[in-house]
Amino acid sequence: MGIRPASVGLAVLVLGLAITVLGAFLAYNAYASYSPVLPRATSLDEAITNTVYELLNLVLKLGFLGVMLWAGTVLLKNGLSTLVEVYRVDRGCSPQQS
């Protein structure tokens, strides 16, 4: 017995939904708990270095969350497309017919 396309579509859909919800939760958690740590600087170059470090840290976190949300939505789209095509084939419609 082989793997049914509907099962694969449902698994991809659930995985995409889980990644998207987890990414949204992590993004909100990062937003709610963000507080910049800027130590007292004795010179202008120290102040700039500390600020750039903090901004770079924030950008890296946001970039990771963006990629995570993007991957989740791609999985959602492909899982849903698979389920729609399986439904169309089961109903007797030709695949890829709008």
**Along the 98 residues of the chain, how does pLDDT read in single tens digits?**
577 888 888 899 999 999 999 988 988 888 888 887 778 889 999 989 989 998 898 888 888 888 988 999 999 999 888 888 888 888 888 666 55
pLDDT value for 1: 59
Dihedral angle over CA of 79, 11, 7, 76, nearest 10: -10
What local confidence, expressed as pLDDT, does residue 97 receive? Answer: 54
| CA distance to 20, 34, 54, 63, 69, per residue, from 58 (Å) | 20, 9, 6, 9, 17
Note the Cα 47 to chain centre separation in Å: 33
| Rg of the chain in Å (alpha carbons) | 22
